[in-house]
Structure 1
């Protein structure tokens, strides 16, 4: 094992190393933890970047003896509130006497091999004994007795570090946490761009880049969901950083609830980045002896541009976040009936779709919304997870048997977290909904939200879902969540804990998913929230893939899938071919383009196969055969983004295997332009010393030639046009 954590007793510094990066913390004279460095690996730190203390006007001092020492100007690891640092705090407490001031000072540390589990929360893990090493810094508040553990796990070979914080109330009194972020870094450098991912339903994870300027810039969700509107991700990049070159720091929160990611540039050109649970409408009461664990933040540094950052995230999540029997399995090509039938289906229609799908090579038939009791409209039946025998007289069992008899797998849709007022469940238990007494509840998609903070609600959902999974022999579950939470309150929580509702809801959700995914390990679970409204690492811990967006339009998907790929590997992204005109935007695109774009994730189809022509069916069959041939390469290979679709009219990306022996390249043009120039596409990630054969034409080119000179893209006068190339390494002595 590489020893990745060192403590220098002479300098009082912790030096953390991954394969290519270093992170350095210094203990100052009063026990304050100060941030020194994060960036390209240093063999050893001798103190070249030592902090120069200066007397700054309006920066208060904790003692009279030293006017140069101020918390307001020190680059800190985990800054507090109210005792001289006027920048944003990483945590804040409220004591019984009304005090909101606390400061932790270093007490001790320990280094452990591997990585601890985070109780009740999703977390990354060390697969093998030597994968990770963890530093736990113990600190205490000498006045109120509150203790904290700052946890740093170093994944040496993955070039990733994770951080989280545990608060422990060792006092005899209750303490409230008002703010409890997972990480903070103070860079003594003002020269950054901030990259985040914004969007909306049907338009998720659009990348936006802007200069960090004095003041505060932040993204957040207050929806008790990671949301389609802002993603729990932020990157700090140097202004000259590109896809292939330059320094970038990526940060992501392993959490599915309300979050905050914030950057503050202060008057003395220190850039503070912090991330964690959103303090908005949050507090947590810690009684004596209780503890609170924050979610985990994942950090990675790359000097190889955004592409290098992405591949580090991809490899790390595939190896150290995803779990279960499907983690390393190739994902099946599926057919979903929703856009083919909506609520209007019966057993015969679904079986006919499956039969058509089998002939084309589809491996999984998914029955979407509408299979349960009286579910013929959005206003009814959520919560009543019993089969509608009018549509399925033989129940799910007979339908499943018929699908399996076709040598296909069978999948089903649930929306467990919601309830309709027009349902047997709501009529029995209206108190099981989230809400505030004496206030009306808001509706979203004509439904209410079940109170997952309650154990009886979670038990009901577990029993209902597990009964379906057992009796119907289900292979796949699409877990949907089609609204965000308003009026957050639980009828079981006392008044002084009502602001815990949001986080307790997420903890309850995690507990339910843990039970189901562990008890049904062979079921492939896919997370969905009206598409990508809850696409986050927390959900991937339980469900190894997510429906990327309800928007299946290939042109729209270029931006959506580009932004998603900044942190998530292709094997986590559901991507389907749907009918035209597209149901979300009305666009008509060629079937080939729809297929080429959908192959950038886990391929599926969402259309009425019975309505297609023979030529269209032949084309789909060819698409599926092609995808299956290169599925492993796409889902588990290295991805290189070649052209950013946000910046122009085109997009291009490619996948290589780990041995650099094979690559698949995709190019898409939105609009045909008059007098268009001939475009050159430069590949990446190949062996420059090897020769590669174009499998379509048989022509051979050097890896250096493909990467540095590039390939000429044929000029085609057609909107929404796509092309693919496959190159395989060949020995020069085999070339005729």
Structure 2
């Protein structure tokens, strides 16, 4: 049993492989948090909580003058606004009489042997137990059902909340967050992952101080600018030591994550839908389900936390045929041709790619309607037969005849004003009547909260995808939401549109992926603008960033690795000088970086040298040979890129320690500067390992203990000159355990 309940103490304990999550119902019926951290071994934390008396912290009516019971001074499981807890809250509601002070008390609980499916929302899946606790407002029949699903092998708890209205009158939800973690201490750092278009998920580590640190998005998506994933950790936590707690929201819309240190030097972390611009009208008998959050604990540092998320998401979040299946090496024509292509140019690229071992061609933006630039035709998902003569089936048959698969780009949530769709349905875009429209990338946003809009887009996409033997869809979104108003809702319910938009996108994805289960769907939003756990439920891989510069990608992929598996990271070798930065890096280096993801190419292979073509052949063969190690192995960050940006080093190690791959890239070379020592991880200490470089040259045999504890010196950049490299040198070393 991973969920235990002590009836006498009203104590709930959730047990994982290395951690315990504990809460109890106090004497006044309130559900209080006790512990989430190291395993308690059957012990109880009851009686150790609380901060003592503090003025200006009121007691609830039921507690009389017992001010120690103030919600402002005790660790809460699901704090609510208006209860006398003045810290960050998870729920705020307005009752029919205007009151805003619910008082949630324990009513009942159930222990389920499976995980309930959250209707219309992504969620973790797989074998687990689930604790369902029902709280009820003391004064009305408003209920909050808290769900805790225990994935014990990953030290993970999946949390969500469902608000149910049985009050007999409408209720207005003003805030509905998913989860709260209360700590009786505050000596922590917060790691969050900020960025911008073409430079996403950069790591920022900030000590928590009194007050609030909030990271959020109000852009209608999870965004490039912040990510719905944060880590709270000890000040001294490193990759290999220290307590760390991850909070990851399985949601692709507006979110907020808040870390607060209160007057008693306690810490609270909340995560959920951003209440800015949000409200939800709940009629009597209706319910509202919050998105799910995955909480993961590690007492062994940041690296162990990441590896638990990697396995949890790869095995228990991604779904369908492609969740664990080996992905094809692809070539995308975007940076090769942009809008300037026809079927002959595409086939020419594919012929060369097939000869070099590439397995799939992806046709990007420009194949449909009157789409010759980014000013027009979004929404007109009909094949442009001037570009693709003979239609998609003809092109697909020609590509398949080369032994390759064919993929296609869509941007289903968008509409151009210069399009047949807009001319027929100008009211289908998000806009406020009588006011001007905001544009970004020359496009507007379709109102995905409306069923008729989704049905129309579905029918057009279905017709295209049914017309040929497609194997892949790249689902893009190239602007954020503005003018958020829907003709489907009355004035008083416009606060629901942001969330209904996300639910609409999920519904369309679910429908298409059910109809085309053999198609691999890859997510994209101007690169990594919607790289979140919610999208991984529908897209087992996501284009990591529009920035394909290998040196820039080091930092982008480093930050991404903290919460997301390598198998989800779309990463390609692109042309040089790079189209985003103008930087020129060695072809070998571009391959090393791109192999730490879903490997592919983003260039015209007809325009590279014969030497580089031979490198493509070698890279594809190497990626196939190392695929299971890279995608299924344990990932280790060997250097801290927030402190050391000149050199990046990371490792993949098989779970059984039988082999490993060490990757090293120099981003900046300094004169007369000694390279650092690298301490490998994940090896068998008393076994011997043969170490070879990426030319196949054997360097020697050492024990796992020597490589992990004594370490090996990183090669100096000049050593790469033997491979024809100078600046931005890269190295790969393979380790094989000897029997």
Q: Structure 1 pair 378/728, CA: closer, same or farther in 2 (3 Å)?
A: same
1-side partners of 2:675 and 2:516: how far apart? 53
Contact 1:644 / 1:650 at 8 angstroms: preserved in 2? Answer: no
Q: Structure 1 pair 16/289, CA: closer, same or farther in 2 (3 Å)?
A: same
**What is the aligned partner in structure 1 of residue 384 from structure 2?**
388
1-side partners of 2:10 and 2:160: how far apart? 22
1:22 to 10, 20, 23: 20
Contact 1:53 / 1:69 at 8 angstroms: preserved in 2? Answer: no
1:729 aligned onto 2:727: no
Q: CA deviation at 1:49?
A: 5.4
Q: CA deviation at 1:684?
A: 0.4
1:489 aligned onto 2:485: yes
**What is the aligned partner in structure 1 of residue 721 from structure 2?**
none
**What is the aligned partner in structure 1 of residue 270 from structure 2?**
274
1:694-705 aligned within 5 A = 694-695=691-692, 696-698=696-698, 699-705=700-706
1:353 aligned onto 2:349: yes
**What is the aligned partner in structure 2 of residue 660 from structure 1?**
657
Q: CA deviation at 1:722?
A: 0.6
Of 294-303 and 82-91, deviating more is 82-91
1-side partners of 2:68 and 2:23: how far apart? 20
**What is the aligned partner in structure 2 of residue 13 from structure 1?**
11
1-side partners of 2:199 and 2:166: how far apart? 47
Gaps of 5+ in 2: 719-725
**What is the aligned partner in structure 1 of residue 722 from structure 2?**
none
TM-score, length of structure 2 as denominator length = 0.97
2-side partners of 1:238 and 1:630: how far apart? 35
**What is the aligned partner in structure 2 of residue 297 from structure 1?**
293
Contact 2:655 / 2:682 at 8 angstroms: preserved in 1? Answer: no
Contact 2:676 / 2:713 at 8 angstroms: preserved in 1? Answer: yes
**What is the aligned partner in structure 2 of residue 691 from structure 1?**
688
Of 61-70 and 17-26, deviating more is 61-70
Q: Structure 1 pair 52/678, CA: closer, same or farther in 2 (3 Å)?
A: closer
**What is the aligned partner in structure 2 of residue 96 from structure 1?**
96
**What is the aligned partner in structure 1 of residue 676 from structure 2?**
679
1-side partners of 2:230 and 2:278: how far apart? 22
Q: RMSD value over aligned CA atoms?
A: 1.1
- Alignment partner of 2:23: what SS? strand
**What is the aligned partner in structure 2 of residue 4 from structure 1?**
2
Contact 1:525 / 1:544 at 8 angstroms: preserved in 2? Answer: yes
Contact 1:562 / 1:644 at 8 angstroms: preserved in 2? Answer: no
- Alignment partner of 1:526: what SS? strand
2-side partners of 1:291 and 1:535: how far apart? 28
Q: CA deviation at 1:437?
A: 1.4
1:471 aligned onto 2:467: yes
Contact 1:55 / 1:69 at 8 angstroms: preserved in 2? Answer: no
1:713 aligned onto 2:707: no
Q: CA deviation at 1:51?
A: 2.7
2:667 to 648, 666, 670: 670
Contact 2:50 / 2:68 at 8 angstroms: preserved in 1? Answer: no
**What is the aligned partner in structure 2 of residue 734 from structure 1?**
none
Contact 2:332 / 2:361 at 8 angstroms: preserved in 1? Answer: yes
**What is the aligned partner in structure 2 of residue 34 from structure 1?**
32
2-side partners of 1:536 and 1:447: how far apart? 24
1-side partners of 2:244 and 2:227: how far apart? 18
Q: CA deviation at 1:100?
A: 1.6
User: How many residue pairs are counted as aligned between the two chains?
Assistant: 725
Superimposed CA distance per residue, residues 585-629 of structure 1 (whole angstroms, 9 cap, x where no aligned partner): 111111111110000001110111111111111112111111111
1-side partners of 2:59 and 2:507: how far apart? 46
Q: CA deviation at 1:678?
A: 4.1
2-side partners of 1:697 and 1:682: how far apart? 21
1:190-269 aligned within 5 A = 190-269=186-265
2-side partners of 1:150 and 1:716: how far apart? 54
Gaps of 5+ in 1: 732-736
Q: CA deviation at 1:645?
A: 2.4
**What is the aligned partner in structure 2 of residue 62 from structure 1?**
60
2-side partners of 1:563 and 1:509: how far apart? 26
Contact 2:154 / 2:312 at 8 angstroms: preserved in 1? Answer: yes
TM-score, length of structure 1 as denominator length = 0.97
Q: CA deviation at 1:48?
A: 6.4
1:593 to 589, 592, 595: 589
Q: CA deviation at 1:441?
A: 1.3
2-side partners of 1:530 and 1:568: how far apart? 18
1:531 aligned onto 2:527: yes
**What is the aligned partner in structure 1 of residue 510 from structure 2?**
514
Contact 1:54 / 1:69 at 8 angstroms: preserved in 2? Answer: no
